[in-house]
Amino acid sequence: MRFDYLIVDVFSDTPFGGNQLAVLTDARGLSDEGMQAIAREFNFAESTFVLPPDDPAHAARVRIFTPARELPFAGHPTVGTACALVMSGARSPGEFVLEEGVGPVAVTTRQEGDRHSARLRLERGPDQPNSMPSPADLAAVLSLPEDAVVDAFGASVGVPFTFVQLADRDAVDCSKLDNGAWSRVLENSWSPQVYLFAGELKDGGEIYARMFAPSFGIAEDPATGAAAAAIVGAAAQKAKRSLSFHIRQGVAMGRPSLLNVSAAVEQAEVRSIEVGGGCAFVARGEIEVPERFLHAAGTSERSPHD
């Protein structure tokens, strides 16, 4: 059976930047194993699979897969899927809700000519761990001297990250994941994903970031929306005030990404988090899926392409 897909580049206004995403715009009939196999085949950081919503008031249910596993939430797949639904004509620009593993996620999409963008909104603050690895251990994970590490903290809005603030952009660019140290320090920790950045987490500022997620089958991610949501939420929670700033990621990879993030604080608590950016159309096509990856109960729900 053939399934339609779109490829988009997320958190970029032009093709061949940002984070690649494959979106199967009608995934009815695919088994869990089929979705995972397709995600491995595309081998992007994530691929998404659009299904009918459980609540008819919502636009769609979206499942998100890395090459190694399914995720309950991720930022660039949410933003990219929302834009892909508009590009495919399934939705009009505006606000709608996507159902994900973490629950309903509100998105607002915009279209100006051929330019698309979207912004997701979470009505929650971040979760944070009770303890963190030492600066010396985290420096070893990143193949850096200990004095390169300025601060470290953990945060999650569905996917947990270890955030490591480094002294400057050069330290970020020079970092290299030491797999042995990562296995010892982070693999079985609260957050195996490590997000390193330079710059101040302040209102109106900008940080420069990279992200490594070997447990997800992602050597390095060019744009990480879930981490962006978690870091702005954690920063706002610490400052006890609303914050908005920009994140540049994927620069050294040759896939520059720009993420715009904000967190709203009321009565010293984070009430909502938003992450947004551009989305560029790259390609559309069909993928032939072997019968063993189809769910027999769902194949009659859609018309296959011959």
CATH number, domain at 246?
3.10.310.10
Orientation of helix 75-87 relative to helix 225-239, angle to 10°: 120
Same domain, 99 and 116: yes
Residue 306 lies in a domain: no
Same domain, 202 and 69: no
DSSP label of 146: G
Same domain, 113 and 223: no
Among residues 306, 226, 264, 261, the alpha carbon closest in space to that of 1 is found at 306
- What is the pTM (predicted TM-score) of this model? 0.92
CA atoms within 13 Å, Cβ hemisphere of 236: 31
Q: How far apart are CA 95 and CA 133, in angstroms?
A: 40
Give the active site residues.
46
Number of structural domains the chain divides into = 2
Residue 129 lies in a domain: no
Same domain, 177 and 60: no
pLDDT tens, position by position, for the chain (306 residues)? 999 999 999 999 999 999 999 999 999 999 999 999 999 999 999 999 999 999 999 999 999 999 999 999 999 999 999 999 999 999 999 999 999 999 999 999 999 999 999 999 999 999 999 999 999 999 999 999 999 999 999 999 999 999 999 999 999 999 999 999 999 999 999 999 999 999 999 999 999 999 999 999 999 999 999 999 999 999 999 999 999 999 999 999 999 999 999 999 999 999 999 999 999 999 999 999 999 999 854 443 553 333
Residue 74 lies in a domain: yes
Residue 130 lies in a domain: no
**CA dihedral over 217, 124, 257, 197, signed as positive or negative:** negative
95 φ/ψ angles, rounded to the nearest 5 degrees? -100, 135
Tell me which residue range forms the domain holding 188. 135-276
Same domain, 51 and 141: no
pLDDT at 295: 81
Same domain, 117 and 22: yes
Same domain, 272 and 164: yes
Q: How far apart are CA 56 and CA 37, in angstroms?
A: 29
Same domain, 25 and 115: yes
